[in-house]
Amino acid sequence: MKKVEDYVRSIPDFPEPGIIFRDVTTILQDADGLHLAIDQLIEMLDGVDFDVVVGPESRGFIFGVPVAYMLHKGFVPVRKKGKLPCETISAKYDLEYGSAVIEMHKDSIKPGQKVVIVDDLIATGGTIEAITRLVEQLGGEVVKICFVMELKGLKGRERLKNYDVKTVIAYEGN
């Protein structure tokens, strides 16, 4: 039986020499790989009491929506600045070369709601750290954060040390 990591394409020297790019699209392109990844994310949530799934665009949508659907929970999208139509709250975070701003609707999380965050990859952890700030600003509680892949060398887990973080696959490098 194949594992999720068997569906990941590794591309050496991309985007620069010495980096191995872990391509999640090959998981998505294979029906068995996609099922396996979603099933393992759902297994991570067995016994977890939560109300809603939150995911950042775009791959957090891809993995978070089927998890929310299968567990009969709502899904809250987190988008790049200027993409949501109603009143929003925002958080700025640092990228490798610069910064970015993400937003979520101000009414998307109710005070006291228990939140699970789902995304494809934890690298530096900046995006998800910003999402935790938004959820908590709205009065929600982040009870678990689930990823398909982790690049341990970028130490993103350290930024999220106050949260229950689980990954399907963990790669030692960056």
**Active site amino acids:** 59, 96
Instruction: Give the total residue count for the chain.
Output: 174
The helix (H) or strand (E) run that includes residue 28 is helix 25-29
The two three-digit tokens of residue 160, written as one number: 């999220």
Q: How far apart are CA 128 and CA 112, in angstroms?
A: 19
Q: How far is CA 48 from the centre of its chain?
A: 17
